[in-house]
Amino acid sequence: MSENKNLLAFTEWKWAVSPEAFLAFKPYFNFLINGSAAVSDIHQKIEARYVRSVIDGSGNERGYSAEEPVADAIGVVRITGPIIKYGNWYMWGADELVAMLHAFDKDPNIRAIVIVIDSGGGMVSAAAPFKDFYAQKTKPVITIGDTCASLAVWLRCGADYNFADNDISAQFGSIGIVANFMSFKKYYEELGIKEHVIYSTHSEDKNKGFDMAMEGKYDLIKEEHLDPLALKFRAHVTASLPNLKTDTPGLLTGKMFYADDSLDIGLVHEIGNLNQAINKAHDLADQYEAKQIQNRFNN
């Protein structure tokens, strides 16, 4: 875990996140930049025993330990709150969460994996580790979510089955990309500080979109950065959810949908609860294992 990596990451301006989730990042920004926030103000990092657990065949949940295996178990990974790429002592990162998923996938005592999600999204750079995991996984993966906005939708894509956690607060969507950064130029000038940025005569396109955006001209940064990411996001979602009703107004342009509508338009497969997700995980594990036996027999 690296603070330097997260200082770099928090200066990232490309986000797949809902507005309310972005506000949740503010205390973390403050803490990282000046260290002034108390731990109680930014929340302590959730303990590993809560983030990663196993559920045995009797439905009992316990902490995960490779040294104390639980036979025929379902591995559970919980993703709560803003999603960043690199973990640190107070926030789990995609690097750590995906490592947990890989560990479950390789553990012969784990039959399937359930990912429990309650997140408004996060850094675009956190998407790739999950995409790589889905490409390599050998066991069924089920997700169940309450709030799944933007990046949280992106990282569900690739799972075998997606649940909405309830039909009250659960909502899905915010498929889109946003940039957010601030200019301190006027503030520094009032302090008597003038910044000089000098480019090589051979680097006329370097940072051009960003520099123009700082002047209030946003067309180039949209064209070169935000639009390509938004289209990639759309393509990934539509390819992963073939029954998605893509002609639904607002679906691919950032609108959020509650569980009933999400089920109707294909963002989720079912509305249920964790117990139902666990049962589905066992059912899919039976199918996976039967297929593996058949493949061995055919070979």
Q: Is the dihedral of CA 195, 201, 206, 212 positive or negative?
A: positive
The CATH fold assigned to 3-182+242-298 is: 2-enoyl-CoA Hydratase; Chain A, domain 1 (3.90.226)
Tens digits of pLDDT across the chain (299 residues): 445 455 445 455 565 666 555 555 555 555 555 555 444 444 444 566 579 999 998 899 998 887 888 999 999 999 998 899 998 877 899 999 999 999 999 999 999 999 999 999 999 999 999 999 999 999 999 999 999 999 999 999 999 999 999 999 999 999 999 988 888 889 999 999 999 999 999 999 999 999 999 999 999 999 999 999 999 999 999 999 999 999 999 999 999 999 999 999 999 999 999 999 999 999 999 999 998 888 777 76
| SS3 (DSSP) at 57 | coil
Instruction: Please give the helix or strand (H or E) that residue 255 lies within, else none.
Output: none
How far apart are the C-alpha atoms of 112 and 227, rounded to whole Å?
36
- Strand-pairing partners, residue 122, are 16, 83
Closest by Cα among 143, 66, 48 to 107: 66
pLDDT for position 33? 52
Which class for 18: exposed (0-12), middle (13-18), buried (19 or more C-beta within 10 A)? buried
pTM above 0.95, yes or no: no
Distance from CA of residue 196 to its chain's centroid? 37
